[in-house]
Amino acid sequence: MSTPNHVQIIYGPDGAPAFVVIPYADYVATQPRDAPVPNEVVGYMVKEGLTAVGAWRRHLGFSQAEVAERIGISRAAYAQQEQAKKPRKPTREKIAAAFGISPELLDL
As a whole number, mean pLDDT of residues 38-55 equals 95
Per-residue model confidence as pLDDT tens digits over 76-97: 999 999 999 888 999 999 999 9
Q: Would you give the distance in Å from CA 45 to the centre of its chain?
A: 15
Interstrand relation of 8-11 and 17-21 (parallel, antiparallel or unpaired):
antiparallel
Instruction: Extract long-range pairs of 33-42: CB within 8 Å, 24+ residues apart.
Output: 33/102, 33/104, 37/105, 37/108, 41/108, 42/108
Domains along the sequence of the chain with CATH: 1-30 (no CATH), 33-106 (1.10.260.40)
pLDDT at 31 exceeding the cut of 80:
no
Q: Residue 91: its pLDDT value, please?
A: 93
Report yes or no on whether pTM surpasses 0.75.
no
- Provide the residue type at 36 as one letter: P
